[in-house]
């Protein structure tokens, strides 16, 4: 498997880090998708669900307006555009990474204009117009294999040969036990052949050796001896009576399947690059369930590591597919989530880093726990702290100590404590600081722990969501390699570029907070235009 540390999938203005697995949430705006058709057909419901998928842990939202289930009814371009346009536009406007799942170039073009940054083409960019749309943009592309195989591959079958290299003929009763033209292996006729590795006495090497004395009760009939000798043919141990018969396997031969899948994906990727699409923008998907039997899908999943060596990010799109039901026994599509997660874990270990799923919440829980226990992935993060009731300095100290106790997380540095002017609806000054963390928790998981620290320190949140007095406020403002645009968490934090009470403490940790934020793509206001301006440096947090 190729090293993927630091690998970036370029999708328009978004750089998707593949240092850890990324979850692609499926948002079907269709009446007939195989597992959730009709659930999110209304645009408002679809938009709300897309935002909820972000809060559940999705990194990318894949919006589709035409079902591609077996026997699907084609949708005309106008209807597909009517379904997906408002959803793509609303999600992209809030900064989400949006993929358009379509086979129509007109739909892909319009989605890109509305803010989508990925084209997921189930036909693998076999339409020249779709190639043109991709080449004339800077979007990410997902090439999926969906062409039917040349023919359905039979199960692998091997015929057990019974003709040894010696070619000696066998006659009599022993010959009756073997197929026509077969012979016993060398050394099976008469006395056993001498082992070449046994030491020999040069004085008696050429003298005839007497036959060993064998009790009559131990003598074996020639036919029985022939049967036992024939039980090992060309090094393969078989049961007597099976020589010359065929041995069948439970799965089809992988050679033809993988030649078809990898050949297509590689050819299409090279064609796109010749058309002007950068390799950094290309992702491949073997297309589980599209023109493939359950056995073929299993063969393809077992070859994940081989496909990763092609050099492109690999998408695993097995969620609730029929073959998952076949290998798990879960007949209904909605019952296949646990089995789907099992396949995803195997795909991750093989090198897949993009996981397309329906049940985002449970997939995120499975992936986060698996990744934490199987891969070292320590990241840098910053948390802004604020307090303005009772003894705020003490609350800042206690909060830092509690954050340091979060599993797989430690505080490695703290800024000075600063007093700042009231802002964001507050009427009293606030004490602020920023702490630097090293953590191996996923951002949303870390955020949950920070909220628990707030609760432990008696944070009261107004029902209307307004900014009121607080014992402690903990904001995850930046996390290395991560962006997120849900309602629960936004990364980088959208307000830090205008907050003096964050920028000034950040200077203590990164030496130049303004430059650091601008490098992260955050617009930073001039000092005189900022809110919550710092008035007093109260010294180290200790």
Question: What pLDDT, in 10s, does the model give residues 204-256?
Answer: 444 455 555 545 444 455 654 554 454 444 444 445 545 556 667 778 788 88
Reply yes or no on whether the pLDDT at 201 is more than 50.
Answer: no
Reply yes or no on whether the pLDDT at 407 is more than 60.
Answer: yes
> Which structure tokens are listed for 344?
């995803």
Identity of the highest mean pLDDT range in 168-172, 202-206, 338-342, 521-525 = 338-342
Q: Structure pTM?
A: 0.80
Q: Which long-range contacts (CB under 8 A, 24 or more apart) does 159-166 make?
A: 159/244, 159/245, 159/246, 159/247, 160/233, 160/236, 160/238, 160/242, 160/243, 160/244, 160/245, 160/246, 160/247, 161/233, 161/234, 161/244, 162/230, 162/233, 162/243, 162/244, 164/233, 164/234, 165/234
More confident of the two residues 476 and 469: 476
pLDDT at 243: 53
Q: How far apart are CA 413 and CA 223, in angstroms?
A: 84
Query: Where are the domain boundaries for CATH 3.30.70.560 in the chain?
Result: 379-540
Reply yes or no on whether the pLDDT at 153 is more than 50.
Answer: yes
Beta strand segments in 366-456, E = 379-387, 409-414, 416-420, 430-439
Lowest mean pLDDT among 203-207, 331-335, 359-363, 395-399: 203-207
pLDDT at 158: 63
pLDDT at 39: 64
Distances (CA, A) of 113 to 40, 49, 83, 315: 23, 22, 16, 24
Q: What is the pLDDT of residues 251-306, one digit of tens each?
A: 878 888 999 999 999 999 999 999 999 999 999 999 998 889 899 999 999 999 99
Q: How far apart are CA 157 and CA 103, in angstroms?
A: 38
> Which structure tokens are listed for 103?
């086979």
pLDDT at 71: 58
- Sorting pLDDT into bands at 50, 70 and 90, what band is 508? very high
Q: 28: helix, coil or strand?
A: strand
> Which structure tokens are listed for 7?
């690998």
> Which structure tokens are listed for 533?
């301006």
pLDDT at 251: 82
Indicate the average pLDDT of the chain.
84
More confident of the two residues 185 and 270: 270
Distances (CA, A) of 415 to 203, 430, 511: 92, 15, 11
Q: Do residues 421 and 528 touch, judged by C-beta distance below 8 A?
A: no
pLDDT at 101: 96
pLDDT at 428: 87
pLDDT at 6: 54
Candidates 3.50.50.60, 3.40.50.720, 2.60.120.620, 3.20.20.20; CATH matching 8-152+252-315+346-374: 3.20.20.20
**What letters, b where the CB count within 10 A reaches 16 and e where it falls short, cover 124-143?**
bbeeeebbebbeebebbbbb
Q: How far apart are CA 385 and CA 471, in angstroms?
A: 10
Lowest mean pLDDT among 133-147, 165-179, 324-338, 491-505: 165-179
Reply yes or no on whether the pLDDT at 151 is more than 60.
Answer: no
pLDDT at 10: 97
- Sorting pLDDT into bands at 50, 70 and 90, what band is 466? low
Reply yes or no on whether the pLDDT at 444 is more than 90.
Answer: yes
Nearest of 357, 291, 323, 346 to residue 144 by alpha carbon: 291
Q: At a CB cut-off of 8 Å and minimum separation 6, what does 542 contact?
A: 397, 414
Q: How many CB atoms lie within 10 A of CB 531?
A: 15
Helix, strand, coil shares, percent, the chain, to 5: 35, 20, 45
For residues 111-127, give the mean pLDDT: 97
Reply yes or no on whether the pLDDT at 393 is more than 50.
Answer: yes
Candidates 3.30.70.260, 3.20.20.150, 3.30.420.40, 3.30.70.560; CATH matching 379-540: 3.30.70.560
For residues 129-144, give the mean pLDDT: 98
Query: Where are the domain boundaries for CATH 3.20.20.20 in the chain?
Result: 8-152+252-315+346-374
Q: At a CB cut-off of 8 Å and minimum separation 6, what does 188 contact?
A: 225, 226, 229, 230
pLDDT at 502: 96
pLDDT at 468: 74
Q: Which residues pair with 537 in a beta bridge?
A: 418
For residues 76-99, give the mean pLDDT: 96
pLDDT at 155: 64
Q: Do residues 530 and 514 touch, judged by C-beta distance below 8 A?
A: no
More confident of the two residues 192 and 512: 512
Q: At a CB cut-off of 8 Å and minimum separation 6, what does 144 contact?
A: 120, 121, 122, 123, 124, 284, 285, 286, 287, 290, 315, 317
pLDDT at 157: 67
End-to-end CA distance of the chain: 47
Distances (CA, A) of 185 to 168, 239, 507: 8, 16, 82
- Sorting pLDDT into bands at 50, 70 and 90, what band is 30? confident
Q: Do residues 133 and 109 touch, judged by C-beta distance below 8 A?
A: yes
Q: In Å, how far from its chain's centre is CA 458?
A: 38
- Sorting pLDDT into bands at 50, 70 and 90, what band is 470? confident
Q: Do residues 168 and 188 touch, judged by C-beta distance below 8 A?
A: no
pLDDT at 446: 98
Reply yes or no on whether the pLDDT at 202 is more than 50.
Answer: no
Reply yes or no on whether the pLDDT at 199 is more than 70.
Answer: no
Q: At a CB cut-off of 8 Å and minimum separation 6, what does 384 contact?
A: 432, 433, 434, 473, 474, 475, 477, 493, 496, 501, 502, 505
C-alpha triplet 224, 227, 231: angle, nearest 5°? 140
- Sorting pLDDT into bands at 50, 70 and 90, what band is 394? very high
- Sorting pLDDT into bands at 50, 70 and 90, what band is 161? low
Q: What is the pLDDT of residues 514-542, one digit of tens each?
A: 999 998 889 999 999 999 999 999 999 98
Cis peptide, bond prior to residue 492, ω within 30 of zero: yes
């Amino acid at each position: 498997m190729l090293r993927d540390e630091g690998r970036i999938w370029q999708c328009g203005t978004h750089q998707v880090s593949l240092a850890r697995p990324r979850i692609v949430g499926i948002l079907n705006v269709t009446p007939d998708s195989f597992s959730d058709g009709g659930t999110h057909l209304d645009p408002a419901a679809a938009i709300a669900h897309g935002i909820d998928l972000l809060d559940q842990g999705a990194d990318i939202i894949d919006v589709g307006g035409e079902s591609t289930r077996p026997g699907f009814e084609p949708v005309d371009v106008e209807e597909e555009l009517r379904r997906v346009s408002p959803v793509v536009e609303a999600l992209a406007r809030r900064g989400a990474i949006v993929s358009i799942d379509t086979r129509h170039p007109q739909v892909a073009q319009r989605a890109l204009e509305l803010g989508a940054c990925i084209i997921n083409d189930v036909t693998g960019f076999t339409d020249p117009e779709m190639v043109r749309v991709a080449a004339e943009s800077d979007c990410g592309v997902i090439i999926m294999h969906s062409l039917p195989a040349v023919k359905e591959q039979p199960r692998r079958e091997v015929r057990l040969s019974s003709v040894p290299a010696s070619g000696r003929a066998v006659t009599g009763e022993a010959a009756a036990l073997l197929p026509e033209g077969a012979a016993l292996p060398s050394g099976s006729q008469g006395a056993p052949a001498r082992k070449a590795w046994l030491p020999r006495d040069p004085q008696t090497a050429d003298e005839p050796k007497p036959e060993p004395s064998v009790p009559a009760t131990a003598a074996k009939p020639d036919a029985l001896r022939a049967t036992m000798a024939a039980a090992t043919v060309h090094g393969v141990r078989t049961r007597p009576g099976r020589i010359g018969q065929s041995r069948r396997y439970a799965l089809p031969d992988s050679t033809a399947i993988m030649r078809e899948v990898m050949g297509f994906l590689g050819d299409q990727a090279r064609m796109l690059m010749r058309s002007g699409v950068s390799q950094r923008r290309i992702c491949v998907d073997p297309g589980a369930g599209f023109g493939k039997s359950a056995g073929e899908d299993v063969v393809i999943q077992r070859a994940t590591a081989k496909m990763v060596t092609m050099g492109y990010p690999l998408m695993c799109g097995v969620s609730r597919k029929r073959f998952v039901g076949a290998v798990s026994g879960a007949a209904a599509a909605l019952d296949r989530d646990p089995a789907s997660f099992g396949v995803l874990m195997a795909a991750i270990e093989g090198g897949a880093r993009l996981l397309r799923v329906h049940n985002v919440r449970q997939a995120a829980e499975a992936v986060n726990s698996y990744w934490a226990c199987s891969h070292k992935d320590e990241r840098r993060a910053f948390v802004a702290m604020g307090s303005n009731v009772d003894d705020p300095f003490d609350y800042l100290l206690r909060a830092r100590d509690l954050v340091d106790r979060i599993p797989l997380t430690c505080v490695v540095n703290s800024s000075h404590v600063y007093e700042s002017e009231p802002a964001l609806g507050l009427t009293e000054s606030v004490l602020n600081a920023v702490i630097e963390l090293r953590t191996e928790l996923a951002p949303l998981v870390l955020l949950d722990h920070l909220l628990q620290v707030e609760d432990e320190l008696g944070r009261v949140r107004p029902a209307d969501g307004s900014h009121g007095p607080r014992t402690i406020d903990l904001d995850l403002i930046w996390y290395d390699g991560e962006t997120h645009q849900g309602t629960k968490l936004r990364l980088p934090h959208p307000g830090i570029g205008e907050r003096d009470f964050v920028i000034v403490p950040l200077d203590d940790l990164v030496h130049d907070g303004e430059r650091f934020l601008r490098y992260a793509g955050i617009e930073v206001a001039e000092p005189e235009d900022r809110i919550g301006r710092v008035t007093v440096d109260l010294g180290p947090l200790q």
